[in-house]
Each structure stands twice: as structure tokens, then as C-alpha cells.
């Protein structure tokens, strides 16, 4: 039986950089998740009888919302739901399932790299038929709908056993519980030279993959240990847990420090990598070398032909605006297109669909390609291993040679988390107000060449996205960028991105924060960040 339930709207269901993210107690309010899911369905057209993919990163509240989503999909008229066993599907795996089985779309339950647990974060995002995050046109419609919604529909059925693989029925709609790993592992085998990577590992290169108690555990075990022959235990924190085992599943130098220290230690592994909660981010470290995500994108692009899936070369590269320009130099050399988009993977979708770009990346530990329409953490790790095998070089050698050839983009991001929202907004407004006066001004040895609030004109569908971050460009190619996070769940997070280009190989060995010290000081002078936020230092430095 299908029930129509009366509800009252919430006013705070605005999807951010990637979906709606709130604390679990917010999501647990009466009809909160239902309202949002119904608002998604109400914003879509033509899904009658079609397939919806559902999965999540296994965090606290995942199973509860999956049950609701399945029953609501049945009530809305979907013909079939494909759901990962145990409610598990990493973000890139969900993207792959949507594409492979030509589903209408998918619902991914995750708050990515944010912690999980009864008082931590939860999230819902909708992906369209190309497997990628819904574009702004759809997320705007969902938000508008959520503000006025007064009923939702749900099948009055018993909960489904999500742990059993097989096909079931809910109110006439088929529900297929699928193995979340196999389709994804198969795709990776098509893209990369598993024989060469297996030989690399067999030759004694020791790898450590940290799944941080989150979704990539089963994927990494199957790929690295079962298919590539890495010894058991090479994948750590491999069981997805509702609270990620207390880990903050954010693969950066703060939260994946244990792995980093291990790789840097004398007898530790030669190669280390970590993923985030939903498996779309990656951090790569080699002995003596942390790879910045911006460099990772550039190096993957420059060496793409070593991987069988990219042997014909790449069509173009896209990066988010705050990501360093390291990849731009590769695109220039390869004489291929280079696109600068706003932050968030959804902006890459059109470029990928149109065949304008093959690889994309963000400074926030995100890299991916046209194999799916999300960033893909394990894909990047496999790409690095494939490049190491193909060049017979270590991570450090590959990175140093890349800098020697292209120059080095010193780069760092400073995050100020849980800042008072008014203070953060005040800072951005003041910056916008002074944009026009900045060009020509000098700060020590730095002269401002241009300053703007980044606006993106999508070359495929012509849509325009404004206010995507303040850029201050200096003569010589250095720059600072300011933007507010669209994924935080408490207060505001200010992100400051700092970049300096150094062509001289003799100067490639400087400590990053030191190399950027003058720019960091100027960023504070221009924005009055410390004074306005009341903070002395960033919460996280990457
Ligand atoms: C952050 C990153 C951004 C990324 C987004 C989603 O957004 O900066 O590059 O696309 O998270 O990543 P923001 O608005 O907080 O800066 V994830 O791994 O949530 O899907
Ligand atoms: Co993520």
C-alpha cells in the first residue's frame, strides 16, 4: 500500500558543494530526510518505470535512510532500485553503476570526509543519469521544492534485508541488492595495467592503503590484496564502520598523519595512500615525498599514456579554480584544452560528457577522469602505481623530475573552520568591495595584476555561475584565493589558497610554508582574516 503523508517544510535544505549535509540529529527530525528525498523526486521528470541506484558510505544513519529511500522510490513510480549490499556503494562506484546499467539516476548517502556517528554528519546527494552530481539547475529546483513541500509518498512495506544479494519486491518495484565491489573492480582492471602493478608489488615495493574505517575498505581489499597480490594487511582500517572507528575520514596530512609518518619512517612502506569517507578523495605519499593534489593531477595528465585506458592520450584537462596551475603547463605542452571551473565536481560533468576533457582534479584531494562522473580515490592510487611501474621510478623521483621539466607550483590551502558566520561573510563582503581598488597596489615585492570574483561560463550549456571565490593575481603568476566552504555543517569555514610558481629547479627544495610566507602575510593583510575571525592560525594547513 502506498501512503501519502502530510508534512511541513524545513527551510534549511539547500544542497551545498555536493549535496545536503547536516548533523545526524538534524536529519533525524520528523520527515526531514523524507522531505528532501521527495523534493528530489518532485524535481525530476520521466523516471516512471526506470532504475534508481542507491548506496552510501556506511556511516551512522545510512541504513535507516536507505530503507526510506527504497520505499519512497517505489511510491514515486520507479521500476527498479539497485542498492549496494549492506547499503554500501562508494561515490565513484555508485557513479559507475548508474552509467553501466543506464539508470535514471542515483541517491548517494554520505557526508564525504566529515566524521560519522550519532552526533556527527550525514548527507544526501542526487546524481543524474551520466553518473555525476546534479547540476545547479536541479539542486536549485530541489531546494525550492523543499521549502513548500506538504506531502510525501511512501510504500507501507517491511524493511528490506540489505545484506542479502538478490532481487526482491517492494510494492511491485524490483529491488536488486548488488555486490558493491565487483563492477568497480572490473572497470579498474580495464583502465590500468594490473600485470605491471602486480609485478611492481611482487618486486618488493611495499604499499599501505588506509581506508580510514570508511567505504573503500572492501574495494581496496579486493583490488590491492586479492587482485594485485599485496600482502594481507596492506589495506588498513578496512572495515566500514558507522562511526569510521572514530577516524575523521579525511585523507590529509592532519587526519592521515599516522600513515604519512609510517611511510616516512626508514623501514615503513614505500608507497602510501588514503581515501575519504565515500571514496572519492585520495592522498598519495611516497617515501620522502607528499604529493600535493594539484601536482598529482598534473603528473597523472603528463603520464596518462602509461595506463592502457588512456593509451591514446587525453583530450583535455579541467581543474577547479583554486587548484594550482601545475596542470595548465602540462596542457600547454600537450597542446590540449585546459578548463578552469568553480569548486565542486558537478562543474566537470558537461566538459566530460562533451569529450572536451579526459582528466579533472581539485586541490582538495580529488582526481578523476571520464571513466565515471565523480572524483575517484582508488582510481588515482592505481594511476600512481601504474605510473611507478611504467617509469620504474619512485614517487619522489617522478615528482622531482616533473618539477624540473615544468617548474614547481608551490601551493598551500589554509582552512579556518567553525568561524562565526557573520564574521566570515563580513570578510567576503569587504573583499568584494575592495576588488576594484586592488590592481596596481603593491604589497612588499608583490604587485597586484588583477582581482576578481570568479564567475564561470559553462562552454557546453552556456550557464553562468557567479561568486565562486575571490582571486587576487600578482605579477609573475603568484595568487591568493578566498572562498567560503559549501560543505561545512557548523559555522563557516574560510579557505585561503596560496600559490607561487618557481621555474628554477635550484629552488625546488624549499619548505612550502616558507616559500609562500610573503603571500600568506599579504593574504591576511588584504582580507583582515585574523582580525575579523579572531583566529591566530588556520585549523588545517594542507
Ligand atoms: C570541498 C572541497 C571541494 C570538493 C567538495 C566535495 O568543498 O573544497 O573541492 O569538491 O568539498 O568533496 P568546500 O565547498 O567545502 O570547499 V567530497 O569528497 O565531499 O565529495
Ligand atoms: Co568525498
To the nearest whole number, what is the mean pLDDT of the chain? 96
Ligand 1, pocket-test mutation among 252, 344, 497, most atoms within 8 A of CB: 344
Whether residue 487 has pLDDT greater than 90: no
Ligand 1 cavity residues, CB under 6 Å: 17-18, 112-113, 276, 280-281, 320, 343-345, 362, 364, 366, 485-487, 495
Counting residues of the chain whose pLDDT is more than 90, the rounded percentage is: 96
* Distance from residue 112's CA to the centre of ligand 1 (Å): 8
Q: Whose CA is nearest to atom 8 of ligand 1?
A: 364
The reply to whether 152 and 250 lie within a common domain is no
Q: Could you list the residue range(s) of the whole structural domain that residue 495 is in?
A: 408-541
Ligand 1, pocket-test mutation among 125, 279, 323, 343, most atoms within 8 A of CB: 343
pLDDT value for 489? 72
The reply to whether 227 and 300 lie within a common domain is yes
pLDDT tens digits, residue range 102-117? 999 999 999 999 999 9
Ligand 1, pocket-test mutation among 251, 321, 364, most atoms within 8 A of CB: 364
Whether residue 491 has pLDDT greater than 90: no
Ligand 1 atom with the smallest distance to the CA of 91 is: 20
* Distance from residue 365's CA to the centre of ligand 1 (Å): 9
pLDDT value for 18? 82
Q: Whose CA is nearest to atom 20 of ligand 1?
A: 112
Whether residue 5 has pLDDT greater than 90: yes
Local confidence band at 426 (pLDDT 50, 70, 90 cut-offs) = very high
SS3 412: strand
Q: Are 52 and 73 in contact (CB under 8 A)?
A: yes
pLDDT value for 353? 96
Ligand 1 atom with the smallest distance to the CA of 374 is: 20
Q: DSSP per residue over 324-375, as a string?
A: -THHHHHHHHHT-EEEEE-SSGGGGHHHHHTTS-SEEEETTTEEEETTSSS-
- Rama region for 77: left / alpha / beta (φ>0; ψ in -120 to 50; rest): left
**All cell numbers assigned to 450:** 588583477
Distances (CA, A) of 506 to 329, 406, 407: 19, 13, 10
- State which of 179, 197, 231 marks the end of a domain: 179
The reply to whether 142 and 204 lie within a common domain is no
The reply to whether 202 and 55 lie within a common domain is no
The C-alpha angle with vertex 467 and arms to 461 and 469, in degrees rounded to 5, equals: 110
Sheet holding 479-484, edge to edge: 442-443, 446-453, 470-474, 479-484, 492-502, 408-419, 540-541
Task: Write out the catalytic residue numbers.
Answer: 112
Q: Are 321 and 471 in contact (CB under 8 A)?
A: yes
Local confidence band at 479 (pLDDT 50, 70, 90 cut-offs) = very high
pLDDT tens digits, residue range 377-398? 999 999 999 999 999 999 999 9
Ligand 1 atom with the smallest distance to the CA of 114 is: 19
Ligand 1 atom with the smallest distance to the CA of 112 is: 19
The reply to whether 261 and 371 lie within a common domain is yes
* Distance from residue 84's CA to the centre of ligand 1 (Å): 24
Ligand 1 atom with the smallest distance to the CA of 344 is: 10
- State which of 406, 431, 453 marks the end of a domain: 406
**All cell numbers assigned to 307:** 595506463
The neighbouring-strand residues paired with 443 are 446
The reply to whether 436 and 385 lie within a common domain is no
Which ligand lies nearest to the CA atom of residue 123 in the structure?
A: 1
The reply to whether 307 and 324 lie within a common domain is yes
| Nearest Cα residue to 360 out of 307, 317, 301 | 317
The reply to whether 54 and 112 lie within a common domain is yes
pLDDT tens digits, residue range 161-175? 999 999 999 999 999
* Distance from residue 90's CA to the centre of ligand 2 (Å): 9
Q: DSSP per residue over 184-198, as a string?
A: HHHHHHHHS-HHHHH
The reply to whether 138 and 262 lie within a common domain is no
Local confidence band at 253 (pLDDT 50, 70, 90 cut-offs) = confident
Please count the structural domains in the chain. 3
Determine if the pTM surpasses 0.85. Answer: yes
Local confidence band at 152 (pLDDT 50, 70, 90 cut-offs) = very high
Q: Are 293 and 310 in contact (CB under 8 A)?
A: no
Across the range 354-364, mean pLDDT stands at: 97
The reply to whether 139 and 249 lie within a common domain is no
Whether residue 488 has pLDDT greater than 80: no
* Distance from residue 524's CA to the centre of ligand 1 (Å): 23
Which ligand lies nearest to the CA atom of residue 279 in the structure?
A: 2
Local confidence band at 316 (pLDDT 50, 70, 90 cut-offs) = very high
* Distance from residue 17's CA to the centre of ligand 1 (Å): 6
Ligand 1, pocket-test mutation among 14, 18, 494, most atoms within 8 A of CB: 18
pLDDT tens digits, residue range 40-64? 999 999 999 999 999 999 999 999 9
Whether residue 490 has pLDDT greater than 80: no
Q: Whose CA is nearest to atom 1 of ligand 1?
A: 487
The reply to whether 139 and 244 lie within a common domain is no
Q: Whose CA is nearest to atom 10 of ligand 1?
A: 344
User: Any idea what the CATH number is for the domain that residue 116 is in?
Assistant: 3.40.120.10
* Distance from residue 538's CA to the centre of ligand 2 (Å): 22
Ligand 1 atom with the smallest distance to the CA of 483 is: 16
pLDDT tens digits, residue range 15-24? 988 899 999 9
User: Any idea what the CATH number is for the domain that residue 415 is in?
Assistant: 3.30.310.50
- State which of 149, 179, 209 marks the end of a domain: 179
The reply to whether 112 and 10 lie within a common domain is yes
Amino acid at each position: 500500500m502506498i501512503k501519502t503523508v502530510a508534512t511541513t517544510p524545513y527551510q534549511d535544505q539547500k544542497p551545498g558543494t555536493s549535496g545536503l549535509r547536516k548533523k545526524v540529529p538534524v536529519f533525524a527530525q520528523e520527515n526531514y530526510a523524507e522531505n528532501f528525498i521527495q523534493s528530489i523526486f518532485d524535481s525530476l521528470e520521466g523516471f516512471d518505470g526506470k532504475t534508481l541506484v542507491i548506496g552510501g558510505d556506511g556511516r551512522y544513519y545510512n541504513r535507516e535512510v536507505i530503507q526510506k529511500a527504497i520505499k519512497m522510490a517505489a511510491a514515486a513510480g520507479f521500476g527498479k532500485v539497485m542498492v549496494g549490499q549492506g547499503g554500501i556503494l562508494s561515490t565513484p562506484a555508485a557513479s559507475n553503476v548508474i552509467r553501466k546499467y543506464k539508470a535514471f539516476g542515483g541517491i548517494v548517502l554520505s557526508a564525504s570526509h566529515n566524521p560519522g556517528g550519532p552526533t556527527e554528519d550525514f548527507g544526501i546527494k542526487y546524481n543524474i543519469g551520466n553518473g555525476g552530481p546534479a547540476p545547479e539547475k536541479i539542486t536549485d529546483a530541489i531546494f525550492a521544492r523543499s521549502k513548500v513541500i506538504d506531502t510525501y509518498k511512501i510504500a507501507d512495506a517491511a524493511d528490506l534485508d540489505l545484506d542479502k544479494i538478490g532481487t526482491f519486491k517492494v510494492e511491485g518495484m524490483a529491488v536488486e541488492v548488488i555486490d558493491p565491489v565487483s563492477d568497480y573492480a572490473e572497470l579498474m582492471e580495464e583502465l590500468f595495467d594490473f600485470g605491471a602493478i602486480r609485478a611492481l608489488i611482487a618486486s618488493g615495493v611495499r604499499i599501505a592503503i588506509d581506508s580510514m574505517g570508511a567505504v573503500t575498505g572492501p574495494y581496496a581489499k579486493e583490488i590491492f590484496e586479492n587482485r594485485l597480490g599485496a600482502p594481507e594487511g596492506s589495506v588498513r582500517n578496512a572495515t566500514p564502520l558507522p562511526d569510521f572507528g572514530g577516524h575523521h575520514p579525511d585523507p590529509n596530512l592532519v587526519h592521515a598523519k599516522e600513515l604519512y609518518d609510517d611511510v616516512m619512517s626508514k623501514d615503513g612502506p614505500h608507497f602510501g595512500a588514503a581515501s575519504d569517507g565515500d571514496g572519492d578523495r585520495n592522498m598519495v605519499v611516497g617515501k620522502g615525498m607528499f604529493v600535493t593534489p594539484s601536482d598529482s593531477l598534473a603528473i597523472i595528465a603528463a603520464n596518462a599514456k602509461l595506463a592502457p585506458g588512456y593509451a591514446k592520450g587525453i583530450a583535455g584537462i579541467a581543474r577547479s579554480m583554486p587548484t594550482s596551475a601545475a596542470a595548465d603547463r602540462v596542457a600547454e605542452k600537450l597542446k590540449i584544452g585546459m578548463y578552469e571551473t568553480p569548486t565542486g565536481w558537478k562543474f566537470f560533468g558537461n566538459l566530460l560528457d562533451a569529450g572536451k576533457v579526459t582528466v579533472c582534479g581539485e586541490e582538495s584531494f580529488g582526481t578523476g577522469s571520464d571513466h565515471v562522473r565523480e572524483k575517484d580515490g582508488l582510481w588515482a592510487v592505481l594511476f600512481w602505481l601504474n605510473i611507478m611501474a611504467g617509469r620504474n621510478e619512485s614517487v619522489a623521483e617522478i615528482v622531482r623530475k616533473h618539477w624540473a621539466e615544468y617548474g614547481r607550483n608551490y601551493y598551500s590551502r589554509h582552512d579556518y573552520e567553525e568561524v562565526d558566520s557573520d564574521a566570515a561573510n563580513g570578510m567576503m563582503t569587504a573583499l568584494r568591495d575592495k576588488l576594484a581598488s586592488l590592481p596596481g597596489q603593491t604589497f612588499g615585492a608583490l604587485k597586484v595584476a588583477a582581482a576578481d570574483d570568479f564567475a564561470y561560463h559553462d562552454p557546453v550549456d552556456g550557464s553562468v555561475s557567479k561568486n565562486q571565490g575571490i582571486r587576487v593575481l600578482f605579477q609573475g603568476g603568484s595568487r591568493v584565493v578566498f572562498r567560503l566552504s559549501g560543505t561545512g555543517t557548523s559555522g563557516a569555514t574560510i579557505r585561503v589558497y596560496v600559490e607561487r610558481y618557481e621555474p628554477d629547479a635550484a629552488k625546488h627544495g624549499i619548505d612550502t610554508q616558507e616559500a609562500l610566507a610573503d603571500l600568506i602575510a599579504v593574504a591576511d593583510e588584504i582580507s583582515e582574516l585574523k582580525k575579523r575571525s579572531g583566529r591566530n592560525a588556520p585549523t588545517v594547513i594542507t
